[in-house]
Amino acid sequence: MDARHVPVLLAETLGLLRVAPGDRILDATVGLGGHSEAILESVGGEAWLVGLDRDQAALDIAGERLARFGDRVRLVQSRYSRFAEVLEELGVEAVDAVILDAGVSSLQLDDPARGFSFLADGDLDMRMGGATEGEAPAVTLLNKASYQRLREIIRDYGEDPQAGRIARAIVAAREKRPITRTLELAAIVEAAYPARWRATARQHPATRTFQAIRMAVNAELAELEAFLERIPDYLRPGGRVAVIAFHSLEDRLVKRAFRREATGCICPREQMSCVCGHVARLRILTKKPIIPGEAEVAENPRSRSAKLRAAVRFEPDVEREGGRP
Ligand X SMILES: C[S@@+](CC[C@H](N)C(=O)[O-])C[C@H]1O[C@@H](n2cnc3c(N)ncnc32)[C@H](O)[C@@H]1O
SS3 label, residue 132 = helix
Of the pair 77, 143, the CB lying nearest ligand X is at 77
Rounded to whole angstroms, the Cα distance separating 146 from 154 reads 12
> Degrees (nearest 5) of the Cα angle 79, 82, 88?
130
Least distance to ligand X from the beta carbon of 2, Å? 11
Residue 261 interacts with ligand X (CB under 6 A)?
no
The answer to whether 115 contacts ligand X (rule: CB under 6 A) is no
Task: Determine the Cα–Cα distance for residues 110 and 119; give it in Å rounded to an integer.
Answer: 10
Pick 109 or 179: Cβ nearer ligand X: 109
CB of 222 to ligand X, least distance (A): 9
Q: In the set 53, 160, 250, 261, which binds ligand X (CB under 6 A)?
A: 53
Is 94 exposed, middle or buried, given 0-12, 13-18 or 19+ CB atoms closer than 10 A? middle
Q: How far is the CB of 203 from ligand X (least distance, A)?
A: 19
Q: Which of 263, 260, 227 is nearest to 242 (CA)?
A: 227
DSSP H/E element including 320: none
By CB atoms closer than 10 A (0-12, 13-18, 19+), residue 227 is buried
Q: Is 128 in the site for ligand X (CB under 6 A)?
A: yes
* Cβ proximity to ligand X, 14 vs 189, nearer residue: 14
Verify binding: residue 31, ligand X, rule CB under 6 A: yes
Instruction: Select from 24, 79, 165, 313 the one that contacts ligand X (CB under 6 A).
Output: 79
CA dist list (Å): 256 to 27, 253, 275: 21, 5, 21
Q: Which of 12, 14, 47, 80 binds ligand X (CB under 6 A)?
A: 80
Nearer to ligand X, 32 or 192 (CB): 32
Distance in angstroms (rounded) separating the CA atoms of residues 296 and 286: 19
**Applying CB under 6 A, which of residues 12, 55, 125, 250 lies at the interface with ligand X?**
55
Taking CB under 6 A as the binding criterion, the range among 26-34, 136-144, 207-215, 311-319 that sits at the site for ligand X is 26-34
Is residue 214 a contact residue for ligand X (CB under 6 A)?
no
Chain positions contacting ligand X, by CB under 6 A: 7, 29, 31-35, 52-55, 58, 79-80, 101, 103, 105, 128, 223
